[in-house]
Amino acid sequence: MLAIPSQYQDLARFIQDFRHEMHRYPELSNQEFATTARIKAALENHQIRVLDLPLTTGLVAEIGDPLAEPLVVLRADIDALPIEEKSAVDYHSQYPGVMHACGHDFHTSAALGAAIMLKRREQSLPGRVRILFQAAEETGHGAPTLLATGALDHAAVIFGIHNDPSLAVGVIGSKAGALTAGVDRFAIGVAGTGSHAARPHEGNDPIIIAGQLIAALQTLIARNVQSSQNAVVSITQIHSGSTWNVIPDGAWLEGTVRSFDQATRELIERRFREVVQGIASAFASEITLDWQPGPPSVVNDADWVDFALQQGEAVGFTPRRVEASPIGEDFAFYQQQIAGAFIMVGSGGPFALHHPQFRVDDRALFPTANYLLQLAVAALARLAKE
Ligand code: NI
């Protein structure tokens, strides 16, 4: 079903080599300079137009008459993660502590393949296709940067993909409505008063206060959020103290909240702030809260999800309805402006995203490029008829 047609054998090899090269030289968010240059060179070698946008890293390509409408947008991301690679692939990362552990090399190479195939049929396109090679997805703030340059101006619909190692190669999955979580990050600083461990009444023990915070914050979901809604509070770091017989003068905690709709997200933040304030006053302490909102939920348009799954089936994929996932994905910001669908593409596992041994099955690559091509062409045809 997912065989490579003979006229695309060379292209399939080209994008596979491109991915391996990108995997060897991963770059962190907002530092994707060589990656951007490599993508740009590949596009220009194929006479594909690169838009002149004020971007430090990342770029936007366009195929079709520059004024033609409808305009369909495909999005790939290009950044890597601060993870030491431990996979056994022969195109292993050459940079210590940096790795394409989320498969953004796969997304980029598939989108590049789609761009080249679209270019070959540029004259017959009933409109225009724009391809976003977005930087800094892992920060949750790459999409807003790109949006601010007008990357979605005149666009009618946007499609994005993410590889999913829990799905077999040849399977795609999505759902209408919330697909990923809204992500918030918090840091809490507890100001106590240090003392001798034997004379706690002379101090104000920040470790006790941190313990109260942990217990109280873990009730936010259980006792505030309706049971039909999903949400998560995870405290992932706690630092305090340095020895056994001294009560320290402070504690520091960090963590994240995940939620799937705006009302729940706002409720949790409000109650979080109230709990922190309440514990501060109960323990006569100063507690600071640094709340950093990340991307909201990816909210898929029901019609475009149906369409995207049908188009996958048309090119040999097995479509599947999947559950929402508590990961974050800044594709959500695009969907606040225009309708769109985000689709998971099976990459064959066995290791999860962000795992040091994560790898993508190469057999998924060309079919994914072909799928993006199909999505773009079919969406143009559908929009042109409306
Ligand atoms: Ni990712």
- For position 205, which CATH number holds? 3.30.70.360
How far, in Å, from the CA of 7 to the mean position of ligand 1?
Answer: 31
CA distance 234 to 134: 28
- Is residue 334 a part of any domain in this protein? yes
Residue 208 main-chain phi, psi, to 5 deg: -65, -40
Strands (E), the chain: 49-50, 59-63, 71-77, 128-134, 157-164, 171-174, 177-178, 182-191, 195-196, 231-240, 246-247, 250-259, 286-293, 299-300, 318-321, 340-346
The alpha carbon of 211 and the centre of ligand 1 are apart by a number of angstroms equal to 33
- Indicate if 189 and 143 belong to the same structural domain: no
Which of 262, 293, 324 is a domain's end point?
Answer: 293
Say how many Å lie between the CA of residue 161 and the centre of ligand 1. Answer: 9
* 163 Cα to the center of ligand 1, angstroms: 8
- Residues 176, 174: Cα–Cα separation, whole Å: 7
Tell me if 224 is assigned to some domain: yes
- The confidence band for 3, taking pLDDT boundaries of 50, 70 and 90, is confident
- The one-character DSSP state at 94 is S
Give the predicted TM-score (pTM) of the model.
0.91
Q: Is residue 1 part of a domain?
A: no
Please indicate, yes or no, whether residues 272 and 318 belong to a single structural domain of this protein: no
Alpha carbon of 23 to ligand 1 centroid (Å): 14
Distances (CA, A) of 75 to 249, 262, 351: 48, 24, 24
Please, which pLDDT band fits residue 386 given cuts at 50, 70 and 90?
A: confident
Positive or negative torsion for Cα 87, 91, 96, 101: negative
Domain residue limits at 138:
6-179+296-385
**pLDDT, position 280:** 98
Ligand 1 centroid–CA 137 distance in Å is 7
56 with 201, same domain: the answer is no
Residues 28 and 159 in one domain: yes
Shared-domain flag, residues 218 and 316: no
* Range with the poorest average pLDDT among 32-41, 184-193, 224-233: 224-233
Mean pLDDT of 231-247: 97
- Mean pLDDT of the region 9-21: 97
Q: CA 19: distance to chain centroid?
A: 18
Rounded to an integer, what distance in angstroms lies between the CA atom of residue 141 and that of residue 269? 20
- Would you call 107 helix, strand, or coil by DSSP? helix
Domain match, 13 and 139 both: yes
Residue with tokens 């799937």: 260
For residue 308, which of 149, 161, 116 has the smallest C-alpha distance?
A: 161
Instruction: Give 320's pLDDT tier (boundaries 50, 70, 90).
Output: very high
**Cα separations (Å) of 231 from 185, 263, 359?**
14, 12, 29
CA 15–ligand 1 middle distance (angstroms): 19
Q: How far is the CA of 327 from the centre of ligand 1 (A)?
A: 9
What 3-state class would DSSP assign to 234? strand
Q: Which of 27, 253, 258 is nearest to 135 (CA)?
A: 27
Say yes or no: 281 and 308 in one domain.
no
Tell me the pLDDT band of 1, cut-offs 50, 70 and 90.
low
Task: Examine residue 70 and say whether the peptide bond preceding it is cis (omega within 30 degrees of 0).
Answer: yes
The verdict on 99 and 226 lying in the same domain is: no
Distances (CA, A) of 238 to 43, 60, 187, 235, 251: 46, 41, 10, 8, 7
Domain count, the chain: 2
* pLDDT (mean) for 123-127: 96
**Distance between CA atoms of residues 59 and 330, nearest Å:** 16
